[in-house]
Amino acid sequence: MTNELDGQYQVSSTSSYQGPLEMKADGVTHIRHGKTERRDAANCLWTSTFTILSENEVEMISVADPTDADSDFSLLRPDGSPSRQPVTYRTVLKLARKGDKIQMTGQIEYGGNVTFITLRRIDV
C-alpha cells in the first residue's frame, strides 16, 4: 500500500529559539506509507507519521529521541529547559500540490518557541 505523500523530502526549519542549544533538525527524509524515520545532524532519531486530513492539510506527529544523539545535544521541555528525553511534536501542515510536486509547511509551538517547518518533495 503506497501513500500519495510517499517520496524523498528536504526538511528545513527556522525557529524563534534564542538559547545556547544548536538546532540540527534539518536534512533529508523519505516518507513511506505515511511514515518516516531519520537521524539528524546531531544523530537524534526522528520518527514521524503524516496523515492527510483534507485536500490542503496534513497532520504530522513527530517523536524526537535524543538517546543516541551527540553528548552536547538536548531537546527542549515544555518549560524551555534542556532534556535528553524523547519529545513528541504535533502540528497540522498546509499541503500544496502542483503535478508531482508536493510541499508541506507549518509551525510547531513547543517549549515557548515557534518553529516554522517546510518539507519539499525532491525526488520528482
- The residue count for the chain: 124
Place of cell 517547518: 117
pTM summary value: 0.86
For the chain, count helices (H), then strands (E). 0, 10
Q: Which grid coordinates are listed for 106?
A: 507549518
What tens digit of pLDDT does each residue of 24-36 get?
A: 677 899 999 999 9
What tens digit of pLDDT does each residue of 18-71 get?
A: 554 556 677 899 999 999 999 888 899 999 999 999 999 999 999 999 999 988
Q: Average pLDDT in the 1-16 region?
A: 83
Higher pLDDT, 17 or 51: 51
Tell me, what DSSP letter sits at residue 19? S
Tell me, what DSSP letter sits at residue 85? S
What tens digit of pLDDT does each residue of 71-95 get?
A: 888 887 888 788 899 999 999 999 9
- Distance in angstroms (rounded) separating the CA atoms of residues 2 and 40: 25
What is the predicted pLDDT for the residue at 19? 56
What is the predicted pLDDT for the residue at 51? 95
What is the predicted pLDDT for the residue at 121? 96
